[in-house]
Structure 1
Amino acid sequence: MKDSAVKILAQNRKARFNYAIDDSIECGIVLEGTEVKSVRAGNLSFPDSFAEIRNGEIWLMNFHITPYVYSSIFNHDPDRPKKLLLHKDEIKRLIRKVEEKGFTLIPLDVYLKKGRIKVQLGICKGKKLFDKRSDIRDRDVQREMQREFRKHIDG
């Protein structure tokens, strides 16, 4: 199977706006019971979520997975911390970055790859207000240039 067999389930657009992404890493995620069906159905929300390092393990906090509609009373807790799966050397590298340089770990994307649910974890730094304004201004200028270009082509 090729790497192109990736189906994006959710993207964190708010993180891309609020943070400058330095690097990213692909992680597996430990899900229980009906969480897998709920995620595959797209019933998840993570605009304010972040990853935390505890006892040499990485945990995803504020990652809300809505309970599965068609399950019985034995449903999952929607807001429980979820463990991320990484190699020890990758965790050590992340610990160094977060502790020494003041980076934050933010989930950027949730996607299916070869039938498994993966999380793209971004190593991010918070943007200042003027950086956000600059991004908005650049986006508006780019949009205006596209309009002018299309208008010029169409006649």
Structure 2
Amino acid sequence: GIDLGTTYSAVFVLSETGQPQILLNQDGENLTPSVVFFQDFDGKDEPLVGIQAKNLAASRPEAVVQYVKRQMGNPNWKFDSPSDTVYTAEEISAIILKRLKEGAENALGDKVEDVVITVPAYFDDARRTATKHAGEIAGLNVLRVLNEPTAAALAYGISAEKN
């Protein structure tokens, strides 16, 4: 499962004992900043995601996207990168999701394809659809877009069953 957060994102799996377990990302951290920094290499974007992008936000704000989750489902929101490429909120979220996918694959030593992505309970259908589409752009098969409170209740239920 992926928590695609406004400020931080995380990937969880069920351990062999059935307990939710957070996976470490490529930086050895359990949370990845939901921040994308665009480097322009010969007119082509090379996005950085996570802590490196967050650290560059102050010095190069014009090349950084933060809080993109707030724009999910908004067809009027666009980001113009330093290489003059225009990105939608879905495309930016897909870049973050792809990085999370790669981190999960590194941690698990296996391909990650099928996922559940959590969203706030207030997300309407347009925002849920945009989130699912972002996952598909990232090469994921999004089985379900799940409310965060529902995910919390399920995690509690799993923990309660074991005790």
TM-score by length of 1: 0.28
More strand, by proportion = 1
Point out the structure with max Rg over C-alpha: 1
Structure number with greater CO (CA < 8 Å, separation at least 6) is 1
TM-score by length of 2: 0.27
